[in-house]
Structures are given as C-alpha cells and as structure tokens.
C-alpha cells in the first residue's frame, strides 16, 4: 500500500485529508504542521509520497521545505494549496513538484494526482538507473578503447623490433654492418618508452623534470626517431632556427608532445603527403589569441608540425584536446594523444595554436617562453658530455645481464674503471677475495636473497669507503610500496639515458648533491 506523509498546518484540513486518503485505499504515516518538523521526521518515516500545504507554521513554507527535501531525499511530493496565483505557482515550479492540487478538492482529484505522481516517480528512478548504466558502459568503452589503443601501439613497436632483429640475424650471418638496424630497434624502444610516459601523463603520475634545453636538439631528436616510422610516401622536412633557443622544460615530455603531433600528421595523410617540423624564435609585441588561450607578449620559441592531410572540421577543433576524442577507428586511435599534449604544455606554461582546413591540412604550433638568461645557461652538448667523464672505479651489481652490460658500456666509454657482479653474493665475494677498492656502487634495488640497500650496508661494514646509486625498474614510490625505503638515497628509475646516469654519478662523487 502506498504510504503518504501529510504536512499541513490546519488540523481540520489534515484530518479530513487523512480520512479521504484512507477511504480510497492509501495509508497515512504521519501528519505534521510545519516544514521544520517534516524535515526532522521524514528520514525515519521514509514515506512513498508527501502531500504538503504551501502555507505552513514556522519559518519555512512548503516550497522552502520541498527545496531542502529535494537536496537530501528522493521522495516525490504533491503541493496542496488554496493559492493559485501566478507568483506562487512560478516559485513552486522550481522545486519540481510531482503534482499540484487546489483546495477544495474531491477524492477523485486526489486519487488521480497521487497515481500520476507515483508513476512519474517510478519513471524518474528508472531513467536515472539507465543513465547510470549508460555512464558505466561509456566508461567501460573508454577503458576498452584505451586498452585496444595501447595493445595496438605496442604491437606495432614489437613488429618493428622483431623485424629488425631478423634483419640483423641475416646480416650477421653474411658478415655485414648492422648499425642502422640496431638504431631502428633503439628507436622502437624509445617509442615504447614514450608510450608508457604518455600513459603516465594521462594518469597524471608523471613528475616534471624541467631543465634548460635547446629546442633545435629536441626537433633533431624527434626527427631522427620518426624518420623510420614514416611510410615512404610521406616526405619530411625539418627546419631548425640557426639561433640558439633555450627553454626551461622537461625534454622527454616535449619530445613526447612533438611525437604525438607527428603521429597525428602521419595519420592525416593516409595517401602520403608532406610534413614539416620546424622550430623558431619569435617575439610577440602584443598579446596574441591562440586556440588554447591568450599568449602574453614576450619572447617565445615555437615548434610546429604541419601536414597537408585531411584537415580538421571547424566544429571538431574545440574537442580535439578532450581525452578520448577521436575520429579514428577503435583499432587506430584512443584519443589520448592531444589530451596529453595539452596536459604537458599547460603544465609547462605554454600554449597551443591549431590552424586547419578540411582537405588542405593542419598546422599545430606550440609556444614556449624563452629568455636571454635561459639561453646563456645553455651548454653545448659536447661541453656537457666532457664534464661528465671520470676515472673512478665503479662496482656495478645488476642481475639482468643486458642492463648490467649497458651500464658498464656507458661507464667505460666515459673513462670509468668498472667491476661487474651479477648478484649481491658475487659482489661480496669479489670485494672479500680481491680486496678491490671502488669509489662508487651502482646497484639494482631488488635482487634475489639480498636487496641493494642491504648489500651497500654489508660492503660498508667491510671498511670500504664508497658512495651508492640505486637503480630500479620501479618508480621510487613503488619501491617503497614493495618494502624498501630509498628515501634520501641516490635513485635512478630505469630506463635511463646515459646522460642521466653520468650526471648523477658526477653529482654523487663530487658531493654536489642538493
């Protein structure tokens, strides 16, 4: 039976209403004269429907009470009022009553109003259930798109790696040079590395690591990386500014930005075309309006990617930076590329401009601030590398052979003496048996039997004076989650570039740690 709660300040009207309701088959679960009391009692009573007068005792009238009820509960209500003037009806409309009965009323009006209200309430609940299901299924679709996109991208990368590996096998058998194939594999691995960064940027887990870098270097790096990814029918032209242009930015992230723009340009030219990547300095004497905001006047470095592909319809431009907005097939696009571009550029204090014409092509331009001061801080790459050399002895402990060999190669080609151990036990044996002294220990964190920190402690108790750098395939937070606290130690997550490792070594050995 439908239970009804009555809010009515005139006792006689309330009792009359109660008997009418009971006569036509409803149950009345309570009668109160004021909004305040209604609000107090309603949560215990939880009726199916409320019938409420508009004029009530106390400071809240029926419309005020309904507004508060709507915020907290989902109980349908009908107004019962002697008023029918426009002002009141206008106010009442805003709290969305399920019915409005004018006094005096008959049992028939009452029953019709109640049945209609209950039907509407049922439909409303069903609709909101459907909406929730729809939201859930859209979320699942988005996750599915994401997973599909990643699987697809990784598959492409693996295809490239496997392809070059086969080529290498053939060439080695014939005693030929394999340098370009190895480069191809490295580029594919870099792309995979960018893909994981892309995911991290999207999940906002990425830490910015800004430094003063030169835009031309970024453009050159990316062009080298993509040259092999582009099909033959797309020609690439790279134009760098002869002037030195320094920006304070996270290099890996900006490379990821440019790579995303390039991949989009490639997709926009399925039948081939012409792509231009360029970097330039530019001075704005006035503020300039671009797609993502107003660029304040000043000195900027721009980097742009232009294609003569399919172009973007003007109604899509406002959506292209939305996560998951894509016009590509499920297999091809996840719609995260430009969302992460936007995130990175915004985080770096820059701006993006998009010019596009359907059928003619598109040009994406990134504006990043530059200053004299930044440019003067810029060191030539050769100078930087020279400073990173050393002649100290380094003990490298890492159980993955490839990683250990790579670290040893990075070190020995920069002047360092190296000792290798493939596990902590071996490291301890070497130092015990040979009394070998070393200045630095580079060790993996997680290894069988003993972790890197325990190893470092054991070696110290043997009276050797050395510094330690920890490396791990896990980010520092994850390392902590897995039970090892590397807080306060020198730590480098894998994969790393030789310049990262070498700078950390110099900072550690020269005691220039911040």
CA gap 192, 204 in Å, rounded: 18
Using left for φ > 0, alpha for ψ between -120 and 50, and beta otherwise, residue 335 falls in left
**Which strands make up the sheet holding 467-472, listed edge to edge?**
417-421, 393-397, 440-444, 467-472, 490-493
CA gap 453, 457 in Å, rounded: 6
C-alpha Rg value of the chain to the nearest Å: 35
For ligand ATP, the nearest residue by Cβ is: 337
Residue 97: which of Mg ion, ligand ATP, none does it interact with, CB under 5 to 8 A by kind? none
Backbone angles phi, psi at 395, to 5 degrees: -95, 120
Q: Residue 205 or 377: which CB sits closer to ligand ATP?
A: 205
CB of 157 to ligand ATP, least distance (A): 13
Burial of 248 (0-12, 13-18, 19+ CB in 10 A): middle
Q: What angle do CA 384, 444, 150 make, to 5 degrees?
A: 80
Q: Residue 321 or 367: which CB sits closer to Mg ion?
A: 321
Grouping H, G, I as helix, E, B as strand and the rest as coil, residue 284 is: strand
Q: Residue 254 or 312: which CB sits closer to ligand ATP?
A: 312
Q: Which residue has the tokens 């810029």?
A: 378
Looking at residues 254 to 273 of the shown chain, list those that interact with Mg ion (rule: CB under 5 A). Answer: 264
Site string for Mg ion, 297-336 (x = CB under 5 A): ----------------------------------------
Q: Residue 244 or 325: which CB sits closer to ligand ATP?
A: 325
User: 3-state DSSP: the chain helix, strand, coil percent, rounded to 5?
Assistant: 45, 20, 30
Q: Which two tokens stand for residue 322?
A: 């939305």
| Residue 76 makes contact with Mg ion by CB under 5 A | no
CB of 365 to ligand ATP, least distance (A): 12
CB of 281 to ligand ATP, least distance (A): 24
CB of 349 to ligand ATP, least distance (A): 21
Residue 394: which of ligand ATP, Mg ion, none does it interact with, CB under 5 to 8 A by kind? none
Q: Residue 338 or 406: which CB sits closer to ligand ATP?
A: 338
Interacting residues toward ligand ATP by CB under 6 A? 149, 260, 264-265, 268, 307, 309-312, 320, 325-328, 333-339, 362
CB of 341 to Mg ion, least distance (A): 8
CA gap 190, 223 in Å, rounded: 13
Residue 268: which of Mg ion, ligand ATP, none does it interact with, CB under 5 to 8 A by kind? ligand ATP
Q: Residue 35 or 337: which CB sits closer to ligand ATP?
A: 337
Looking at residues 333 to 362 of the shown chain, list those that interact with Mg ion (rule: CB under 5 A). Answer: 337
Classify residue 125 by its DSSP letter: H
CA dihedral defined by 505, 507, 509, 510, rounded to 10 degrees?
150
CB of 277 to ligand ATP, least distance (A): 12
Paired sense of beta strands 393-397 and 440-444, if any: parallel
CA gap 166, 170 in Å, rounded: 6
CB of 222 to ligand ATP, least distance (A): 15
CA gap 349, 50 in Å, rounded: 54
Task: Please measure the distance between the N-terminal and C-terminal CA atoms of the chain and give it in whole angstroms.
Answer: 74
Q: Residue 183 or 267: which CB sits closer to Mg ion?
A: 267
Q: Residue 291 or 498: which CB sits closer to ligand ATP?
A: 291
CB of 158 to ligand ATP, least distance (A): 17
Residue 206: which of Mg ion, ligand ATP, none does it interact with, CB under 5 to 8 A by kind? none
CB of 252 to ligand ATP, least distance (A): 18
Residue 99: which of Mg ion, ligand ATP, none does it interact with, CB under 5 to 8 A by kind? none
Q: Residue 342 or 470: which CB sits closer to ligand ATP?
A: 342
Residue 75: which of ligand ATP, Mg ion, none does it interact with, CB under 5 to 8 A by kind? none
For residue 487, cis peptide bond before it (omega within 30 degrees of 0) = no
Q: Which two tokens stand for residue 100?
A: 């409005």
**Sign of the C-alpha dihedral computed for residues 145, 146, 150 and 151 taken in this order:** negative
CB of 333 to Mg ion, least distance (A): 6
- Interacting residue ranges for Mg ion, rule: CB under 5 A: 264, 337
């Amino acid at each position: 039976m439908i239970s009804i709660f009555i809010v009515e300040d005139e006792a006689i009207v309330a009792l009359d209403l109660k008997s009418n309701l009971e006569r036509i088959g409803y149950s009345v679960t309570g009668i109160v004269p004021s909004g305040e009391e209604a609000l107090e009692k309603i949560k215990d009573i939880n009726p199916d429907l409320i019938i409420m007068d508009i004029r009530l005792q106390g400071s809240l009238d029926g419309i005020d009470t309904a507004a508060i009820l709507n915020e907290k509960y989902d109980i349908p209500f009908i107004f019962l009022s002697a008023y029918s003037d426009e002002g009141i009806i206008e106010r009442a409309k805003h709290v969305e009553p399920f019915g409005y009965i004018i006094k005096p009323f008959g049992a028939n009006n009452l029953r019709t109003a109640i049945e209609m209200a209950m039907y509407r309430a049922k439909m409303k609940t069903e609709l909101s259930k459907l909406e929730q299901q729809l939201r859930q299924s859209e979320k699942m679709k988005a996750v599915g798109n994401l997973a599909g996109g990643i699987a697809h991208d990784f598959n492409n990368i693996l295809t490239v790696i496997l392809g070059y590996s086969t080529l290498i096998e053939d060439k080695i058998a014939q005693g030929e040079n394999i340098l370009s194939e190895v480069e191809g594999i490295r580029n594919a691995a870099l792309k995979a590395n960018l893909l994981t960064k892309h995911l991290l940027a999207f999940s906002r887990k990425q830490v910015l690591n800004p430094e003063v870098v030169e835009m031309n270097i970024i453009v050159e790096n990316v062009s080298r990386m993509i040259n092999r990814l582009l099909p033959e029918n797309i020609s690439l032209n790279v134009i760098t500014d002869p002037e030195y242009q320094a920006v304070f930015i996270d290099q890996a992230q900006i490379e990821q930005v440019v790579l995303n723009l390039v991949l989009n340009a490639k997709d926009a030219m399925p039948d081939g075309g012409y792509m231009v990547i360029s970097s330039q300095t530019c001075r704005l004497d006035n503020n300039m309006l671009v797609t993502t905001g107003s660029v304040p006047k000043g000195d900027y470095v721009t980097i742009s990617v232009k294609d003569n592909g399919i172009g973007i319809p003007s109604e899509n431009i406002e959506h292209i930076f939305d996560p998951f907005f894509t016009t590509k097939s499920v297999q091809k696009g996840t719609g995260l590329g430009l969302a992460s571009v936007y995130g990175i550029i915004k985080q770096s204090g820059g701006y993006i401009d998009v010019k596009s014409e359907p059928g003619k092509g598109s040009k994406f331009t990134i504006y990043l601030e530059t200053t004299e001061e930044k440019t003067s801080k810029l060191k030539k790459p050769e100078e930087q590398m020279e400073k990173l050399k050393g002649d100290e002895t380094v003990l490298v402990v890492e159980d993955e052979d490839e990683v250990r060999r790579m670290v040893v190669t990075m070190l020995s080609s920069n002047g360092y003496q190296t000792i290798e151990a493939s596990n902590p036990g071996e490291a301890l044996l070497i130092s015990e048996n040979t009394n070998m002294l070393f200045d630095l220990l580079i060790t993996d964190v997680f290894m069988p039997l003993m972790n890197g920190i325990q190893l470092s402690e054991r070696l110290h108790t043997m009276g050797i004076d050395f510094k330690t750098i920890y490396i791990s395939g896990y980010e520092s937070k994850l390392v902590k989650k897995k039970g090892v606290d590397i807080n306060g130690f020198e730590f480098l997550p894998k994969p790393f570039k030789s310049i990262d490792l070498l700078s950390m070594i110099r900072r550690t050995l020269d005691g220039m740690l911040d």
